Structure 1
Amino acid sequence: MEIRVLQYFLTIAREESISKAAEVLHITQPTLSRQMKELEDEFQKQLFIRGNRKITLTKDGILLKQYAQEIINLTQKAERELSKEQDDLSGDIYIGGGESASMRLVMRVIASMQKIYPQVHFHIFSGNAQDVADKLDSGLLDFGIFFDPVNLSQYDYFTLPGKETMGVLMKKDDPLAKYEAITPQLLKDKPIILSDQNIVKNELAGWIGGNERKLNIKVTYNLINNSALLVEEGGGYALTFENIIHLDEKSTLCFRPLLPRLEDGIHIAWKKYHVFSKQAETFLELLKKEVNHV
């Protein structure tokens, strides 16, 4: 399986047509069709559904598209790193993490590094812990930022200062808004909007003294912003970290912490035995210095 053929495959998936893809790639249609037939023969899988007007991917084709894109991204990343001058601090840094006010420290270091090294470019991926771990493991991220509870035994990491407070996002005029903190009993039978991460559900299970099924979970999310809109529309109570959603006097929403309190630490991690690019190593050094000054 050649990188060139994977690029052909991705072009067909994007254009939804072999003839259009052949025009984009500047090769003949029969040549492209033959390459795709050989690719299907190699995997012994049908990758395309060839319709009258367009080509769509089979289930196996969709899976290959995901891996092919990751392979192409890694190849391009390697080419950029290897083509740089040895003493040239430039290139890309890939960081993934969930939404949190604690990310401000990381953003501060990124902003500082951009001023010092303008040829360094950052790529920030937002996702839940599993999304970040998958990309970190596959080499698509240099660093992943994780919140407790999390198992980081397979990574090298250090802990960032501060903790995130878990609580309930609700409408200001909701009856529960009169309470300074929210107990498990107050949430009984209430429609709950919760992160779809199992590890978060386990943490909530410990908080309520049982399992998450004691909560009336109506909606799950991987990032909170759209769920905040659902709360505004009266769709439930969202369990999330404090200060992710900006709240002020004009906001229709408010935040109340849980009682007993749930506070989660934050960590930045990277693959063990990972050989950093020069720019990634510099970023980590600057971040550690910033942490020591906090």
Structure 2
Amino acid sequence: MKRFFNPNNILAFVTVAREGSVSRAAEILHLTQPAISHQIKRLSEETGIILFRRTPHGLDLTADGETLLPKAEQVLNAMADLRRIASTQSGQISGKLRIGTIVDPEFIRLGQLLSGLKKNHPGIVTELVHGISGEILDKLKRRTIDLGFYLCDPEEIGQIPSEQPLHTLKLAQFDYRVIAPVGWEARVVNASWAELAALPWIGTTPVSVHNRLLTKVFSRHGVVQNSMALVDHEASMLEMVRSGVGLSLCRESIALHQRQAYGLTICETQRIPACLCILALDAQKDVPIMAALFDQLEAVW
């Protein structure tokens, strides 16, 4: 009987193919770049195929590599199925879950989720990967996480752009409010969206939910946001508003607290609905370890 290919070499090949970079693959797999390069070289020797070609932008699959990639992914999926079946047969659900987290732990009820999961399924180990909402979606598509929390317009549910079908579970709906520095009441409290757009704003990166929501609103009103600074951390945004820099979006519960504690101004005429949901690849949602987490989410929310 011929020896089988080393599954670690196959995993390295698939990861480099997805990322287009040995360095990013090494980061994801927690290996050194020379180790990844060695695994790719070994698989190339075992198959007799040149898998990648170097370009100024990284590594691209050769025609033979593109042909081999779907088969390699099937092998990895089959091995994952084997592991899951063995776990189910033993009567225990076990394995690692990589969860993408956003904003503050209290808002996504992270402590309750992990506590319940540990109590009901002690064999499940969780790895938390923090980021902003749009980054979590990208990590899911690249399969560097198994599922993740996501913020979006309620109208986006079921329509989040992805080449791979997504499973979306809506957890909560809330409003974003526009907050402004102390003393800006005359300009902000009863302002229209056009009037608000002209004022100085603390901008956010394109992948953030603030940016996505505001771009949609301002586009609908035919105006452009006047961004004076660019940040991607909620605490920094709040500090800049308190310092008098400009306007920002803020979850309503936090906005009301900031007004009470620091005297910040809240626009009373405008608000933006949003929702918190959790995303996973549709093909993975019924895997026992994922189903266990979704059951726990239902219990917590």
For normalisation by structure 2, the TM-score amounts to 0.61
State which of 260, 266, 274 in structure 2 corresponds to 1:256. Answer: 266
Task: Look up the match of 1:225.
Answer: 235
The residue type equivalent to 1:167 in the other structure is R
CA drift at 1:272: 2.0
Provide the aligned C-alpha RMSD in A.
4.7
Give the AA of the match of 1:132: I
Question: Alignment length, in residue pairs?
Answer: 251
Distance 1:280 1:258 in 2: 41
Q: How many angstroms does 1:285 deviate by?
A: 1.2
Out of 148, 163, 171, the residue aligned to residue 160 of structure 1 is 171
Structure 1 residues 192 and 290: CA distance shift in structure 2, 3 A: same
Kindly indicate whether the alpha-carbon contact (under 8 Å) linking 1:96 and 1:144 is maintained by their aligned counterparts in 2: yes
Q: Is the 8 A contact 2:180 2:188 kept in 1?
A: no
Larger mean Cα displacement after TM superposition, 261-270 or 195-204: 195-204
> Secondary structure of 1:203's match?
helix
Question: Which deviations, in whole Å up to 9, do the C-alpha atoms of 1:21-59 show, x marking residues without a partner?
Answer: 87xx7xxxxx97xx69x99x864326xxxxxxxxxxx75
- Note if contact 1:164-1:241 (Cα within 8 Å) is conserved in structure 2: yes
Would the alpha carbon gap of residues 281 and 261 (structure 1) be closer, same or farther in structure 2, given more than 3 Å must change? Answer: same
Contact 1:95–1:144 (CA under 8 A) maintained in structure 2: yes
In the TM superposition, what is the alpha-carbon distance from 1:134 to its structure 2 partner? 1.8
1:242 aligns with 2:218: no
Higher fraction of helix:
2
Q: Distance in 1 between matches of 2:268 and 2:144?
A: 35
Which residue number corresponds to residue 203 of structure 1?
Answer: 216
CA contact (8 A) 2:193 2:218 kept: no
Runs of 5+ unmatched residues, structure 1: 15-19, 26-30, 47-57, 62-70
Name the counterpart of 1:60: 58
Using the alignment, how far apart are the partners of 2:259 and 2:198 within structure 1? 29
Letter in 1 for 2:198: D
Alignment of 1:126-145 (within 5 A): 126-145=130-149
In structure 1, distance between residues paired with 2:82 and 2:257: 42
In structure 2, the residue matched to 1:17 is none
CA contact 1:169–1:253 (8 Å) conserved in 2: no
User: Which blocks of at least 5 consecutive residues in structure 2 are unaligned?
Assistant: 1-8, 17-21, 60-71, 160-164
> Which residue among 111, 124, 127 is the counterpart of 1:123?
127
Contact 2:259–2:265 (CA under 8 A) maintained in structure 1: no
1:81 Cα deviation from its structure 2 partner: 8.5
The Cα offsets for residues 160-191 of structure 1, whole Å up to 9 and x where unpaired, read as 23x222123433x3323896565436525321
Distance 1:287 1:2, change over 3 A: closer
| 1: CA distance, partners of 2:222 / 2:259 | 36
> Could you tell me the TM-score, scaled by structure 1's length?
0.62
Determine the C-alpha separation between the residues in 1 that align with 2:265 and 2:236: 16
- Per the alignment, residue 289 of structure 1 pairs with 299
Identity %: 13
Change (3 A) 1:201 1:97: farther
Q: 2:93 is paired with a residue of what secondary structure? A: coil
Please state how far the C-alpha of 1:192 moved relative to its aligned partner. Answer: 0.6
Contact 2:177–2:266 (CA under 8 A) maintained in structure 1: yes
Classify the secondary structure of the residue corresponding to 1:88. Answer: coil
Per the alignment, residue 109 of structure 1 pairs with: 113
